[in-house]
Copies of this chain bind each other. A is one copy, B any other.
Amino acid sequence: MALIVQKYGGTSVGNVDRIKNVAAKIKSFWDRGDKVVVVVSARSGVTNELIARAKSISPNPSEREMDMMLATGEQETIALTAMALHAIGVPAVSRTGAQAGIITDVCHSRAHISRLTGGDILDRLEEGKVVIVAGFQGISSDNEITTLGRGGSDLTAIALAAAIKADVCQIYTDVDGVYTADPRIVLKARKLQRICYEEMLEMASNGSKVMQSRSVEFAQKYGVTFEVRSSFNNQPGTIVKSFEKTMEDAVVSGVALDRTQTRVTVGDLPDTPAAIAAIFDALGEAAVSVDLIVKNVAKSAGAANLTFSVNTDQVQRAEKAIGEALKKIGSGTFRSSGEIAKVSIVGVGMTSHPGVAGTLFRALSEAGINSELVTTSEIKISVGVAPDKADDAVRAIHAAFGLDAPAAQ
C-alpha cells in the first residue's frame, strides 16, 4: 500500500480507448490497496486545435484569455477519466487545478506555482477514492485561471507528490524510461534503472526530451522521487532520485544529443574583459542561452575571436543583440556559421574518474569525426560535431563507454 501520484500525458489519454486503458492501469494499483492521485493532460491534439481557433480570431490573443480557453482541455480529460473509472467500479472524483489548490502567480501562459494546498485530496483518498487532477493549470491568488507552460502537467504531478508527501510519482509517457542514448540512433541503447536529478537535467537539456528541466528541478528541490515509465506496457521505467553512494560505479550514465544548435562567431573583438562581457550581457538580456564557448586570441595582437553555440530558434535574437553590442564596443564582426550538433556524455562519477575525456576524444578520432567547441561541467562533457556526423558520434561514444547492451542471446 503506497501513496502514488501518476501522471498521464496527452498521448496516453488521446482518445476514448486510451482513456479506458489508463483507467484499467489505475485500477490495478487501486485494487492492491494503493492510494492513487492521477494527473492528466489534455487529449493530444486538443490544445493545438484550441490554439488554431484562437489564432483565427486574433493573431495575438490575450494570454489571460488563452489560459481561460486552454484550461478546458484538461478539464474535459479529468471528467472522462473519472467516468472511465466509474464504469469499471472504481470510485473516483475529478478536480480542476483550482479545486486541487494549485495556487500560482499571475504570469499567464507560464505561471509558477507559489503554493499547493491539495484541496480536499487527502480526505477523498481516505474515503477510498481515486482523485483525478487537471494538469498544466492553476489559479492565481486573485482567482484567475492560469496555465503553467510547457511541461506543466509533469510539474503539477511532481508538485502534488511533494505536497501530499507521496511515496512515488509515476510519469507515464510514450517512452519506456530514460535510455543511455536515443534508441532510434543507438540500437543497443539500454534503459537506465535509475538516474540522479543532475544527470536527468543534463539528459533533458541535451535533447533527450523526456521531461522539461523545470519539473526535474522542482523534484530535486523538494526531494520527490519519480519514475518515468510507459503507459502502453507494465514494465518498470527509470527511477529519478537523489545521488547515492552506490551510484558512483557508473561513470557515464548516457549520451545525449541536441541537434538544434547554431554556431555563431564574433571576430575582431578587442581582447578586453569589458568587450567580452558586453557581448554576453547583451545575449543574456535578450534571453539567449549560450553554450560551447571558445575564445581565441587572433594573431594580430589585441584582437580576439569568440565562437559559441546558441539554440537555432534564438539565432535571430542573438544576431540583433550582438549587432547592438558591437556598435557600442565600436569594432568587431559577426556571423552565424551553420548548424552544429551537440553530443554530451553525462554521469555523476565523471570528474572523479581520470581518462573520461581521453576515452571520448579517442572514440571520435577512431570514428573519423572532427569535434570543435568543447565544454565541460561536473557531470557532463559536450562537444560540437557536424550535424551529419552526429548519429555516428553518439554510437561511437556509446560503445566506447561500455554502454551498449550485450548482444541478444
Q: A79 and B66: CB pair below 8 A?
A: yes
Q: How many residues of A contact B (CB 8 A)?
A: 34
- A69-B58 contact in complex given A16-B53, A53-B16, C-beta closer than 8 Å: no
Contacts of A225 in B (CB 8 A): none
A36 located at the interface, meaning its Cβ lies under 8 Å from any Cβ of chain B in the complex: no
Which residue on chain B has the smallest CB distance to residue A62?
A: B86
Contact across chains for A79 and B68 when beta carbons are under 8 A apart: yes
User: Contact between A57 and B69 (Cβ–Cβ < 8 Å)?
Assistant: no
Question: In chain A between 59 and 103, which residues have their CB closer than 8 angstroms to a CB of chain B?
Answer: 61-62, 64-66, 68-69, 71-72, 75-76, 78-80, 82-84, 86-87, 93-94, 96, 99
In the complex, what residue of chain B is closest to A71 when comparing beta carbons?
B75
Q: Beta-carbon contacts of A324-362 to B below 8 Å, as 1s and 0s?
A: 000000000000000000000000000000000000000
What is the copy number of this chain in the assembly? 2
- Asked, given contacts A50-B76, A68-B75, whether A96 binds B145 with beta carbons under 8 Å apart, the answer is yes
Q: Answer yes or no: A56 CB below 8 A from chain B CBs.
A: yes
User: How far apart sit A145 and B145, CA to CA, in the bound complex (Å)?
Assistant: 14
- Nearest-neighbour CB distance to chain B for A127, whole angstroms, equals 14
Residue of B50, B61, B76, B93 touching A69 (CB-CB under 8 A): B76
Cα–Cα distance between A189 and B87 once the two chains are bound (Å): 51
A19-36 vs B, CB cutoff 8 Å, 1 = contact: the mask equals 110000000000000000
Interface residues of A (CB under 8 A from B): 16, 19-20, 50, 53-54, 56-58, 61-62, 64-66, 68-69, 71-72, 75-76, 78-80, 82-84, 86-87, 93-94, 96, 99, 143, 145
